[in-house]
Amino acid sequence: MIRELENISIKQLCKVIERLAPTMDDYLYVYDIQNDFYYIAPDAAERFLLPGHTFQNAIQMHEQFVYPPDLEQFQKEMENLLTNQQTIQNIEYRWLSKTKMPIWINCRGYIIREENTPLYLIGCINEIGTKQKADNISGLLGESSLRAFFETSLSTSFHGYVLRLDLDDFKEINEKHGIEYGDRILRKTAQCISSVISPDQKLYRIVSDEYLILDTTGGTMEDALKLYKKIRQTLELFVEENHYEAVITISGGVLESCDIEEYSYSNIMKLSEFALNEAKRHGKNRCYLFSIQDYQQFLWKNELSRLLRKAVNHNFEGFEVYFQPVFCMNSNRLYGAEALMRFYTKEHGFLPPGEFIPILEETGLIIPVGKWILHQALAACKKMQEHIPEFRISINISYIQIQKSDIIHEIISAVKEHLISPSYVIIELTESGMLESNSHFTKLCSKLNEQGISLALDDFGTGYSNFHYLYDLHPDIIKIDRNFTAKALQNDYEYHLLSLMSHMIHHLDLRICVEGIETREELHRIQEIQPDYSQGYYFGKPCSYTEFTQKFLSC
């Protein structure tokens, strides 16, 4: 081949390089030594700080684009090549990119000589830093090949689906059995997947334990789901044959081409990652089918977290505390109020607490916001006590605050700071989240008890109810969830159950508050079961401090 090249003119060589360039990621070059003329594939001139893809005075010109600390190494190598000491060029050094960033390249070439005169240096330059095209563990194509495929072959659109797969808890396999075993599993997974896909489908290993199947043959969601199930079966079979040495499961996310608006590589990767994450979020070892509604909801949640974070960082702008009256059933008088959080933005108005509170919890923002609410509510309570000295304030505390902040200390010091007697403060806890952090809860409850702060067990009757909590936590008040109240008002069985619960609660020397009373008739029926306190729209909806004082405290 080299012998033959010796008979080709430089012009012809340049033409060959030009023709080959679009099919290669590497840059071919030829240096006509006698005429001091350098030619490199045109793409290189776009990537690097070259004077163009052809230039004269080659060695000196290199000073312009070789990363200065590497210049000497380059010059030495060229000297050796040109003075006959060396025939093969193989050097790793750095060139400057168009943006003047040093890029590692490997330059390999061959000197063609006639007798002892060097005529041409011809070779190839490739970027060392770019990611591997193929993955040597699984034997599959890698992420950069996928990107290249999208960029060259699929830039407009395609018909089919993307199935993104990820082994569940693969980290644990590596930790338990070692990296080599992990690599074996990755290879095996690649084999399992390869064995069930059709020859027209492409399989890539994207990163670590993530794979992607690209179907451009018009496959549908159902086809993708079937394929996922087949993959799972082959993996299960492998686990069985491997005598359950490592139990591996796989999650999948499917994106159908008709759900894609913009066919860019980054968009497809973004949407398929969302799909895969949904499968993980729903409990792993399952396949999630992309839905645009879910995705919009996900985006909205992200937007909401952004808005909440912004509000927290702007002195809680947009947060407000509303107050809902709680009435004492014996005296028919105002007992106090429950402090309820509100969040408002200019663009969206008031947002439902059921929507933003879970996000505050997920993001941990409930910790600063909860603390802020605590102080606002106590300050308001202090002022309300100027009208009704025995006014009680109920404050909701999330399990995240209990698990992840020193809420006990915060409550106690806030109560002191606002000069309120602890006996007028009620902390409301819901049972959700209690199971995982029972010890945190019991500690909080006993500390509050010690201080004389009351404890209310909220949302009682909503499915989580566990009567053990009545013993474990020693609450002072049990709050019956308004859904339970609603059922009791509609259904004799539930009414009877509520009545029995009221008896039992009283029997344990605890007090009961029934929530969700909306009409006078409802109040009358509920009064028959003799609750201690009631709360509901009938007495008043949650409202701002000003409205609350006007409605309930001005006499």
Q: Can you give the binding site for ligand C2E, defined by CB under 6 A?
A: 324, 340-341, 353-354, 357, 370, 373, 396-398, 430, 458-459, 482, 515-518, 535-537, 542
Beta bridge partners of 328: 333, 533
- What three-state secondary structure class fits 129? coil
Place of tokens 């009682």: 460
Comparing CB distances to ligand C2E, the nearer of 316 and 537 is: 537
Tokens at residue 493, please? 């069985």
Between 58 and 337, name the residue whose CB sits nearer to ligand C2E.
337
**Alpha-carbon distance 413 to 540, whole Å?**
31
Q: Are 123 and 109 in contact (CB under 8 A)?
A: yes
- In the complex, the smallest distance separating the C-beta of residue 444 from ligand C2E, rounded to whole angstroms, is 14
Instruction: Report the partner that residue 418 touches, choosing among ligand C2E, Ca ion, none (CB closer than 5 to 8 A by kind).
Output: none
Beta carbons of 343 and 318 less than 8 angstroms apart: yes
Shortest reach from residue 480's CB to Ca ion, in Å: 8
What does 346-405 look like in DSSP terms, one character per residue?
Answer: TTTEEEPHHHHHHHHHHHTTHHHHHHHHHHHHHHHHHHHTTTSTT-EEEEEE-HHHHHHS
Q: Which amino acid is at 157?
A: S
> Cβ closer to Ca ion: 216 or 398?
398
Q: How far is the CB of 298 from Ca ion (least distance, A)?
A: 28
Q: Is 26 in the site for Ca ion (CB under 5 A)?
A: no
**Residue 191's Cα: distance from chain center in Å?**
29
Name which of 201 and 534 has its Cβ closer to ligand C2E. Answer: 534
Which residue is closest to ligand C2E by CB? Answer: 536
CB of 98 to ligand C2E, least distance (A): 53
What's the min distance (Å) between Cβ of 483 and Ca ion?
9
Whole-number minimum distance, CB 282 to ligand C2E, in Å?
24
The first and second tokens of residue 437, run together, are: 């952090």
Region of 87-95, 100-108, 420-428, 535-543 interacting with Ca ion (CB under 5 A): 420-428
Distance between first and last Cα of the chain: 105
What does the alpha-carbon distance between residue 496 and residue 352 come to, in Å, rounded to a whole number? 32
Q: For the beta carbon of residue 224, count every other beta carbon within 10 angstroms.
A: 24
- Nearest residue (CB) to ligand C2E, 81 versus 321: 321
Binding partner of 542, given Ca ion, ligand C2E, none, CB within 5-8 angstroms per partner class: ligand C2E
Residue 392: C-alpha distances to residues 178, 384, 414, 420, 426 (Å): 59, 9, 15, 10, 7
516 touches which of Ca ion, ligand C2E, none (CB within 5 to 8 A by kind)?
Answer: ligand C2E
| Among ligand C2E, Ca ion, none, partner that 537 touches (CB below 5 to 8 angstroms by kind) | ligand C2E
Nearer to ligand C2E (CB atom), residue 341 or residue 505: 341
To ligand C2E, the closest distance from the beta carbon of 367 in angstroms equals 11
Q: Which residue has the tokens 């909306």?
A: 518
Q: What part of residues 426-465 is at the interface with Ca ion (CB under 5 A)?
A: 428, 458-459
Report, in Å, the least distance between residue 362 CB and ligand C2E.
13
Give the angle subtended at the CA of 474 by the CAs of 446 and 330, to the nearest 5°.
Answer: 125
Residue type, 186: L
Q: Which is nearer to Ca ion, 38 or 319 (CB)?
A: 319
In the complex with Ca ion, the residue whose CB is nearer, 168 or 459, is 459
Question: Would you tell me which residues interact with Ca ion (CB under 5 A)?
Answer: 396, 428, 458-459, 479
